[in-house]
Amino acid sequence: MKTLTRQEWYGALVAVLVLGIFLSIASPYFLNSRNLSNILVQASVIALLAGGQTFVILTGGVDLAVGSLTALAGAMAGYMMIKLGIDPYMAILAAFAIGAGVGLFNGYLVAFVGIPSFIVTLGGLTLWRGLAYDSTGGFDMSGLPDPFPFIGYGELFGFLPMPIVVMAVFYITMSFVLSSTKLGRYVYAIGSNEMGARQVGINVRWYKLGVYVVSGLCCALAALVLIGRMDSSSGKIAQMFELDAIAAVILGGTSLFGGRGSIIGSLLGAILITMIRNGMNLLEISQFKQMMAIGAVVIIAVWIDVVRRKRLLRK
């Protein structure tokens, strides 16, 4: 076993603790169970997106379209339930189908056609957002039927908010997939040495396609939690969420170059991003400054990754 300090996510853990201590001193409102539970609930949607994003980034790709795809899946599900009166469970299925379908589309273009993931998903960023608005006529759809209020506001055993439960189950599952299945192993192998992976007989194309499908399904799950929490849906939800999701993965110690990283890191990263936002709100720092701060944090995290990679290569 790797010692704690050598884990990729160690830095994120330290950052969460240090920021936590700082915020407890700086604000009297930070360290109470309600606020802490709030942070986890707020982190849940980003954490779900970051989970899928981790798979993509570990293979050396990136998915810039997760915010827009979340909007598409969420808006379509809302539209089906509110405007078309379709059964909510069918709408949930439809959301997952949309996530998987767009994932297949992205994965096909990246893995089989050979277009860089950056381009495919940058196009997707506006393509899926546009489709989300267009297909729902730009309406706001509020008052979602069961089980959405439960997904968004329900509490398991009377005290565990459902978004946290979903996030926990999701991360336990993903952690297992990444560490103990062929898919997980090949994700790391492809990110480490794609040609080598091909030489030992791994079907690199199909596994690469697979990670975009995983990311798409995560978007659908995130969309369901998000519209549950907002009790409404529209094409404009999840704006810029791709940035937070990618930032969470990078802050969690996963390398943008692929091959190195962990799913736990992404969870810590999502919590860290949310804590930064929460802390700045408590300290009454303006939205504009918050935007600047998050951007700076992302750049610094990538900076650290690049320096660390150079050091590893020098060995």
If the CB atoms of residues 22 and 206 are measured against another protein, the closer one turns out to be 206
CA 74 – CA 79 distance, rounded (Å) = 8
CB 235 within 8 Å of CB 129: yes
| Total of residues contacting another protein (CB under 8 A) | 28
Q: Where are the beta strands (DSSP E) in 78-133?
A: none
258 phi and psi, to 5 degrees? Answer: 90, 165
* Member of 7, 185, 297, 302 binding another protein (CB under 8 A): 185
Sign of CA dihedral 13, 17, 20, 26: negative
**Residue 106 beta carbon to another protein: minimum distance, rounded to whole angstroms:** 17
Instruction: Looking at residues 138 to 177 of the shown chain, list those that interact with another protein (rule: CB under 8 A).
Output: 177
CB 197 within 8 A of CB 204: yes
- Helix, strand, or coil (residue 93): helix
The backbone torsions φ and ψ at residue 16, rounded to the nearest 5 degrees and listed phi first, read -60, -45
Q: Which is nearer to another protein, 135 or 203 (CB)?
A: 203
Applying CB under 8 A, among 180, 239, 281, 287 the residue interacting with another protein is 180
Site string for another protein, 251-270 (x = CB under 8 A): --------xx----------
110 by DSSP, 3-state: which?
A: helix
Residue with tokens 């379709």: 86
Closer to another protein by Cβ: residue 79 or 186: 186
| Per-residue tokens: 51 | 């989970």
Provide the minimum distance between the beta carbon of 150 and another protein in the complex, in angstroms, as a whole number.
28
Provide the token pair at 248: 């969470």
Distance CA 135, CA 299 (A): 35
4 binds another protein (CB under 8 A): no
188 part of the interface to another protein, by CB under 8 A:
yes
Q: To the nearest whole angstrom, how small is the minimum distance from the Cβ of residue 235 to another protein?
A: 33
For residue 249, state whether it binds another protein (rule: CB under 8 A).
Answer: no
Q: Which of 104, 202, 280, 293 binds another protein (CB under 8 A)?
A: 202
| C-beta closer to another protein: residue 191 or 235 | 191
Please say whether the beta carbons of 9 and 268 come within 8 A.
yes
CB of 110 to another protein, least distance (A): 17
Radius of gyration of the chain, Cα coordinates, nearest whole angstrom = 19
- Binding part of the chain for another protein, among 72-80, 93-101, 124-132, 183-191 by CB under 8 A, reads 183-191
Which residues of the chain form contacts with another protein (CB under 8 A)?
Answer: 1-2, 177, 180-183, 185-186, 188-189, 191-193, 195-197, 199-202, 206-207, 210, 259-260, 312, 315
